[in-house]
Amino acid sequence: MGNRVNVIGVGMTKFAKPGASKDYHEMAQEAGLLALKDAGIGYNEIQQAYAGYVYGDSTCGQRAVYELGITGIPVINVNNNCSTGSTALYLARQAIEGGLAECVLAIGFEKMEKGALGTKYNDRESPMGMHIPVMMDVQGFNNAPPAAQMFGGAGREHRWKYGTKKETFAKISSKARVHAANNPYAMFRELLTVEEVLASPEVFDPLTRFGCCPPTCGAGAAILCSDAFAEKHGIKNPVYIAAQSMATDVPSSFDEKSMIKMVGFDMTKNAANDVYEKSGLGPEDIQVIELHDCFSANELITYEALGLCPEGEAEKFIWDEDNTYGGKFVTNPSGGLLSKGHPLGATGLAQCTELVWQLRGTADKRQVEGARVALQHNLGLGGACVVTMYRRD
């Protein structure tokens, strides 16, 4: 066992659509300063920084944290697709847990372009070079955004296998808006009914437009430290990381001709089980969850992968409203990626920010009553999945 890792400061910008945000380094500065202020420390206390982003030339991380101070510390740029933010967090956690540093910054930012995700480098093997053929084999390829085809395909598979209704997917999007309505940092805060979600233009059956997260610009930051550091700075009873795990693809992603598996069901399952084992806590101990709802279909299959409900029973879980206030868990109180937005590099840190607020009891109208244990799930195709369990005593 290494050192306990505390999350003593968090901060994020309000998420914005492409073109409506500040530049990446300014967004990072805003999130970073908020996290420093939240922790009550100066930037000169930061010994290392892990900076996550997907789109941008190399060493944007330095340019971003230089807005906070030019102190000559190690700055590591992190790129891990949609799980970039939590990968930065993962590395920062390792540094503290391993006793290599006392106080570390994990920061993530993204300045995205309009439109669906695409590839930037077409002169070389795609990072999805092993995933795409699975999809081609199972369902072909059409003009819809590739990510929507993949996660939508997983939704289709769930429909056929378990008889899941299209309304069920829409219900997730509708719930996300109910939660986001109370989140001033979220991009979309207007309520949507299940009917409105279903009536929006179809992207890839069963996904309609409101079943897909939007391209987003934003930044998030978290400051992690050791017990000794927290004590020295008089920080009492901080939120800490009870366990954290990262998983990448296993053979089932490619071998089983299953879209659910291809989009990382088993990555999630492996990372979650590892976290449950390390922490000695199970799903039943958790009150609040931020999970990777890049598409409503992924939130649905993730309920099962995280073990919040048995496999094949996500539909019942959703209609029993066990995913919102008053139910067994509150999933994505922030509005999730669907409503809050999904700036790839920032998402993992925005999830962390929300959960730290929840555990401190400072989440305002979104506060989940009695939140003591929180779970974060952040997944990127390609692939990587980081699951983190937070506690506050």
Partner 1 sequence: MSELRFDDRVAIVTGAGGGLGREHAMLLASLGAKVVVNDLGGGIAGGDGESSSPADAVVAEIKALGGEAVANYDSVTDGEKVVKTAIDTWGRVDIVINNAGILRDMSFKKMAQKDWDIVIAVHLQGAQSVSMAAWPYMLEAKFGRIVMTTSAAGIYGNFGQANYSAAKLGMVGLANTLSIEGASKNIKVNTIAPIAASRLTETVMPPDLLENLKPEYVSPLVAWLAHEDCEETKGLFEVGAGYVAKLRWQRTKGHAFCVKSAAITPDAVAAQWDKITDFDEAENPADINAALGPVLNAINNPSKGGNEFIDVDLAMAGEYTAENSYDERDLSIYALGIGAAEDPLDAKELAQVYEMSGDGFKAAATYAAMPAMNAMLEGAKTGKFSMPGLNYGFDRVLHGEQYTEIKQTLLPSATLSHTFSVKDIYDKAPNAVVIVAMSSKDENGNEVVYNEQTIFVRGAGGWGGDRGPSASANELPSRQPDQVVVEKVPLNQALLYRLSGDWNPLHADPNMAKAFGFDKPILHGMCTFGYVGRHIVSAFCDNDPRYLKSIKVRFAESVFPGETIETRLWKEGGKIIFESRVQERDLVVIRHAAAELFDELPKAIAKKVVKMPKVTSVDAPADAPEEEINDAIILADIFSALSSFIETRQNLIKEVGTVFQFDVSDPDSNWFIDLKNGEGSAANGLAEKADVTLALSADNLMGILTGKADAQKMFFSGDLKISGNMMASNKLTVLADLDPALVVAAKTERLANGAGATDVKATAVAPVVKVAPQAGTIFKALATKITKNKKVNAIIQFNVGSPDSTWTVDLAKGSVSEGDASGDANSDVVIDLEDKVLAQLVNGVDPAVLFQKGELSVSAGDVLLAHNIEFFEGVL
Binding site for partner 1 (CB under 8 A): 40-44, 68-69, 136-142, 153, 156-157, 159-160, 162-165, 204-205, 233-235, 259
Which is nearest to 374 in space by CA: 339, 326, 334? 334
Shortest distance in whole angstroms from residue 245 CB to partner 1: 31
Shortest distance in whole angstroms from residue 18 CB to partner 1: 20
Shortest distance in whole angstroms from residue 31 CB to partner 1: 16
**CB of 113 or CB of 137, closer to partner 1:** 137
19 SS3 class: coil
DSSP codes, 40-52: T--GGG--EEEEE
The token duo for 176 is 């996300």
Chain position carrying tokens 């995913």? 323
* DSSP H or E stretch at residue 232: helix 227-232
Q: What residues form DSSP beta bridges with 239? A: 7
Catalytic center residues: 82
Q: How far is CA 107 from the centre of its chain?
A: 13
Length of the chain: 393
Q: With beta carbons less than 8 A apart as the criterion, state whether 382 and 254 touch.
A: no
Q: What are phi and psi of 285, to 5 degrees?
A: -90, -10
d(CA 254, CA 222): 35
Please tell me the number of Cα atoms within 13 Å of 262 on its side-chain side. 28
- The burial of 316, by beta-carbon neighbours within 10 Å (0-12 exposed, 13-18 middle, 19 or more buried), is given as middle
Shortest distance in whole angstroms from residue 180 CB to partner 1: 29
**CB of 100 or CB of 119, closer to partner 1:** 119
d(CA 347, CA 197): 23
Shortest distance in whole angstroms from residue 234 CB to partner 1: 4
**CB of 120 or CB of 236, closer to partner 1:** 236
d(CA 101, CA 112): 32
**CB of 63 or CB of 328, closer to partner 1:** 63
Which is nearest to 292 in space by CA: 209, 375, 174, 360? 375
**CB of 136 or CB of 228, closer to partner 1:** 136
Shortest distance in whole angstroms from residue 161 CB to partner 1: 8
Q: With beta carbons less than 8 A apart as the criterion, state whether 14 and 250 touch.
A: no
Burial code of 263-298, b = ≥16 C-beta within 10 A, e = fewer?
bbbbbbbbbbbbbbeebebebeebbbbbbbbbbbbb
**CB of 263 or CB of 286, closer to partner 1:** 263
Shortest distance in whole angstroms from residue 141 CB to partner 1: 4
**CB of 263 or CB of 291, closer to partner 1:** 263
